[in-house]
Amino acid sequence: MKFYEKTWFTVLMLLLFFPVGLFLMWKYQKFNKGARIIISIFFGLLLVSNMFDESEDNQPGTTAVKEEETETVDAEAETAEPTAEEVAAAEQAAKEEQEKQEKADAEAAKKAEEEEAARKAAEEKRKEELSLSGSGQQASSKFTLEDGFVVIKSTHNGGSNFAMELLDENANVVKLVTNEIGSYNGSQVFAIDAGTYQYNVTADGAWTIEMSQEIPDEVVSGSASGKGDTALFMDLEDGAQTFSFTHDGQSNFAVQANDSVLLVNEIGPYEGSQVQRVDDAGVYFFNITADGNWTINVE
């Protein structure tokens, strides 16, 4: 008898792989007929039960329920109320952040205030350095100027000659700023190089000198009028421009643009015009020498 015909092999197959065991049991008529029927029914019920369980596991409803349960758990986790410790910690963190920001804002405001105070102090110091005064013939104190231009406003309350010579650090005369008789109140503007300067002042009365290297707020355009020596700043368009002038004084009337282009240089009353090319639009300064009323018109 072959091994697969033996009873022990049939029992082994029933335990390990019952379809083969059932086949061998019926083929070789192992056990009596009643036992074979009972064994077959048992394994048949076992097979049906397994198939039913697998079918339930694969039902869509089961998956949906599981997903719904998961979502419910997630929603509960999301809507869970924070603990008192968590609330306190969040409030403390927000308070510390606010205090940190307030401190940074206060430091920034203090720094800006200090910078503004330093700027104003520097401007005041610079203004004092460029403000001179005296009486009679006198050498002024030294001062420094930057590259560009300098506006010089001066006064004299004497009755004799009033003259101001601008000297460089080697005592060379850079410019005869003023040379008038009697009282004087006027302003002039000249191009200047950076350096150390001072004045030789000739006077028989009290005098003052105020200098500035900033474009003033009073910048005009189109036309201007005034009296006496004047430093004028005018906004010009580029291209060909017609300059018209009038003067009703008796002495010298001169107009020089940017300390380089002499537009007028006449004695006594004057009325005239000329065309000049302006290369670049912008603010230009005019040094006007006059002893009467004057007008300038640009178009």
Average pLDDT, the chain: 88
- Residue 171 and residue 181 in contact, taking contact as beta carbons nearer than 8 Å: no
Measured between alpha carbons, how far is 113 from 42 in angstroms, rounded to an integer? 97
What is the mean predicted confidence (pLDDT) over 149-159?
A: 96
Residue 156 CB partners (closer than 8 Å, separation 6+) = 162, 180, 182, 183, 184, 185, 203, 205, 206, 207
- Going by pLDDT thresholds of 50, 70 and 90, the confidence category of residue 44 is confident
Q: Which one, of 275, 272, 270, 266, lies nearest residue 293 by Cα?
A: 270
For 66-94, write each residue's pLDDT tens digit: 555 555 555 555 567 888 888 888 889 99
The tokens of 65 are what? Answer: 């329920």
pLDDT class of 283 with cuts at 50, 70, 90: very high
Lookup: tokens for 135: 């009486």
Contact 247, 290 (CB under 8 A): yes
Task: Assess contact for 228 and 182: CB atoms under 8 A.
Answer: no
Query: CB-based contacts of 138: which residues, under 8 Å, 6+ apart?
Result: 201, 203
Please work out, in degrees rounded to the nearest 5, the angle formed at the alpha carbon of residue 63 by the alpha carbons of 59 and 68.
Answer: 140
Q: At residue 18, does pLDDT exceed 60?
A: yes
Dump strand ranges (E) for the chain: 131-135, 138-139, 143-145, 148-156, 161-168, 173-181, 184-192, 195-202, 206-212, 219-220, 223-227, 230-236, 239-247, 252-257, 261-267, 270-278, 282-289, 293-298
For residue 57, pLDDT over 90 is answered with no
Q: How much is the pTM? A: 0.64
Over residues 45-66, mean pLDDT:
61
Q: Which of 120-129, 160-169, 257-266 comes out lowest in average pLDDT?
A: 120-129
Residue 183: both structure tokens together = 């009282």
Residue 243 banded pLDDT, cuts 50, 70, 90: very high
- Residues of the chain by 3-state class (helix, strand, coil), percent to 5: 40, 40, 20
Rounded CA separation 232/245 (Å): 14
Eight-class DSSP state of 3: G
137-178-123 Cα angle (round to 5): 85
The per-residue DSSP string of 153-176 comes to EEEE--SSEEEEEEEETT--EEEE
Interval 235-241 mean pLDDT: 96
